[in-house]
Amino acid sequence: MKFQVEKSTFTDAVSWAARTLPTRPAIQALAGLLIEAMDGELHLSSFDFATSAKAIVSADIQKPGKVLVNGRILADIVKALPNKPINIEVNGTRVDLTCERSKFSLPTIPDDDYPSLPNLPTSGGNISKEIFANAVLMVAAAAGMDSTIPMLTGIKIEISGNSLTLAATDRYRLAVSDVNWKADDSKTSLDVLVPAKFLSDAAQTLSSEEVRLTFSSDGSNERLIGIETPNRKMTSRLLDADFPKYKTLLPSESSTKVTLNTQSLIDSTKRASLVGDKTVHCAFEDGEVTITAKAGDTQNAQEVVECEIDGDGLEIAFNEKYLTDGLRALGTETAELQFTSSNRPAVLVGVGEKAANYRYLLMPVRTP
């Protein structure tokens, strides 16, 4: 195999494909990045039996072929090279890389044990990259991190025709986003659980105006989600777990609604929490919210933010991080906090033209 490729496009593709390589692979082959040169293109692939990634870039292919090489080392090398064309040639069990006056030689990895990448599912639909990324990142803020509870580490995707709903929870907060997409079949109905980390990674790294989502979830095939743009392809196994029945948690009405500046509440909450145990107490009354935090009897903080209160005043306490995570996810200048009582969950929604169809439910902290 022998080819020449532009440095910038090759670096981006190698870094993207290698980013999910396992740090402690079960077999040596899984540490490798598979490079296939054919028909004026390079296909760069990684796979760990759960998640696959493939990047495609144009190149001057002088001799087609394929090789498996340590992906993390290759990524580090190409990042550091000067911005000049890169020449790569396979000589026996070595990969020789030349860029201007820089030369590297890496050992190949035997590819006998390298697994075949799964095929992308074919059934699904298309969605705007911006809408997809915003919806995923807004919801992923509420996903759990404890791998021993897999149902909470995923994002629930529910599809009904051209409507797509994403939901995530870690038991202390719940985020739900409803968006539109273009389904291949307007009668599509689907309910799957996708690893939140996989979706977040796709939302942050894929660059294209439109993203194609495909699913294989019936019993006859491996349960997969596929995410595809013109030069990037990803797959992940779906989580085999039962997501909580979250719709019953969302209140249908509220007794108090509070409207205020989102950033002001974030800033005040962050400042107050500097002296406390990360629990902030919020008292809503007379057009103001008073935010207090304490650490024993010696340290305390108080912040006041103006607001509009529709309904009865109340006092409630929240985990500072969970509250500010939800406020940031709204992405709007103005936020509305909806309450039923001081010991029931609050719901955060955005206000204004940029407000998405997004709800963030937050459990209160019970205090003496």
Cα dihedral 306, 312, 313, 317 sign: negative
For residues 319-349, one letter each, b for 16 or more C-beta atoms within 10 angstroms of the residue's C-beta and e for the rest, the string is: bbebbbbbbebbbbebbbbbbbebeebbbbb
Distance CA 67, CA 94 (A): 10
> pLDDT at residue 162 above 80?
yes
pLDDT at 199 over 70: yes
pLDDT beyond 80 at 42: yes
Mean pLDDT, rounded, of the chain = 94
**Chain segment 72-130, per-residue pLDDT in tens:** 999 999 999 999 999 999 999 999 999 999 999 999 999 988 999 999 999 999 999 99
Residue 219 has pLDDT above 90, yes or no: no
**pLDDT for residue 368:** 67
pLDDT category at 339 given cuts 50, 70, 90 is very high
Kindly give the pairing relationship between strand 173-180 and strand 65-70: unpaired
The model's pTM is: 0.92
| Mean pLDDT, residues 325-330 | 96
pLDDT (average), residues 123-148: 95
CA distances from 279 to 290, 297, 341, 364 (A): 14, 15, 18, 10
Domains and their CATH numbers in the chain: 2-107 (3.10.150.10), 123-247 (3.10.150.10), 250-362 (3.10.150.10)
The stretch 55-76 carries a mean pLDDT of 97
pLDDT at 220 over 70: no
